[in-house]
Structure 1
Amino acid sequence: MATIFCYSRVSTLDQDTTMQEEALKASYPDAVHRSETGSGTTTKGREVLALLLDMMHQGDKLVVWKLDRLARNMHDLSTIVEALESKGASLEILDQRIDTSTAAGKAFLQMLGVFAEFETNLRKERQLAGIAAAKAKGKHLGRAPKLTGVQRKEIMAARAAGATPSQLARDYGVSRATIYNVVAD
């Protein structure tokens, strides 16, 4: 007997799979439903997806709400579809009504995969452009330094006078590693 596996995914812990799960349960209330949190830009580290793909057999179907919940690049999408096909299983994407058990569904899925990868690449380009613009304006990117220049000089002088890294770390409210980095500069 064929089994239907429904998979939902969000990228971060502050996101919620409720909308995906409701859509999947409305279409397949008796299916095996699983969800996880992890980046869609790679399949690495997505243990739930790996487990579902491993469990699939002839006639089974993997169902996702939207394509980007499964993969965001053609390589990962192709790898997943090939893994399913090698087991005689198929993929269904609810919102685009794609089913890889048909030739038209396979072709449409490949076209959508190209667009999903294109969207990811555009997002990366915009992010890099924003970082470059911020740097050009002299904006500091990243975490603020834990110590001021004056504090760094004080730490170097105290260390030269024999203060221990543990003692300095406590005094300045930083880790010993931070103290070692200051002294190494």
Structure 2
Amino acid sequence: MKIGYARTSTTDQVAGLESQARDLSANGCERIFREQVSGSSTDRPQLSAAFDHMRAGDVLVVTKPDRLARSTTDLLRLVEEVKAKGCGLIVLSMNGMTLDTTSPTSKMMLTMLAAVAEFERDIMKERQREGIAKAKADGRYKGRKPTARSQAEQVQALAAKGVSATEIAKRLGMGRTSVYRCLVASATS
């Protein structure tokens, strides 16, 4: 049985998730597990569910290696987990080439491609840090605008009316933790 796994890093990448699911279906996946969570997150319940669903002889199919793992180490660990279950891994989108880890050559190629992808990500992060540092030095970077603090008065008003923290968070589109921060800040002022 072919089991597909589709992942995007954020919830606003709906088109990307649908595109992956479409490609996985087109490649014969009978069951597709989908989630929208960062690849570096240790909590990926749908990936765990896919592994739990796999039986010896099954094949896990992903569209790209970075949809499965964020680092070479993580990818190789997952490849070994798949192998230990008596299963295979297929990566579809490799510029027209499909990598099937049941062959030694494909496993080597996957390892090299994962290392290159990790290197590119590290370089991108380094450039981003340099750009932020320069913008700060030039006085152009102020960081993310604190959204919760700007709504502190609304939080306090709703709390004074007896509205629960969960309901306040829903109404104002913020996290419950931010609601508690606003309430604590107002209590200490």
Which category of TM-score, normalised to the shorter sequence, fits these structures?
0.7 to 0.9
The correspondence of residues 103-114 of structure 1 with structure 2, limited to 5 A, is 103-114=104-115
Deviation at 1:19, TM superposition (A): 1.1
The Cα offsets for residues 68-112 of structure 1, whole Å up to 9 and x where unpaired, read as 111120121011001011111111001121000111111111111
**Matching residue of 1:39:** 38
1:176 is aligned to 2:172: no
Q: Which runs of 5+ in 2 are unaligned?
A: 151-155, 161-178
Q: Which runs of 5+ in 1 are unaligned?
A: 148-165
TM-score (norm 2): 0.74
**Matching residue of 2:138:** 137
The two structures, once aligned, show a CA RMSD in angstroms of: 2.2
**Matching residue of 1:24:** 24
Counterpart residue identity of residue 140, structure 1: K
Q: Taking structure 1 as reference, are residues 104 and 47 closer, same or farther at Cα in structure 2, changes over 3 Å only?
A: same
The Cα offsets for residues 35-93 of structure 1, whole Å up to 9 and x where unpaired, read as 10011234x11110011122222211100011111112012101100101111111100
Mapped to 1, the partners of 2:89 and 2:105 lie a distance apart of 13
Deviation at 1:142, TM superposition (A): 2.5
Mapped to 1, the partners of 2:111 and 2:51 lie a distance apart of 19
1:51 is aligned to 2:49: yes
Deviation at 1:135, TM superposition (A): 1.3
Report the count of equivalent residues: 156
Counterpart residue identity of residue 53, structure 2: M
**Matching residue of 1:101:** 102
Larger Rg: 1
Counterpart residue identity of residue 90, structure 2: E
Deviation at 1:177, TM superposition (A): 1.9
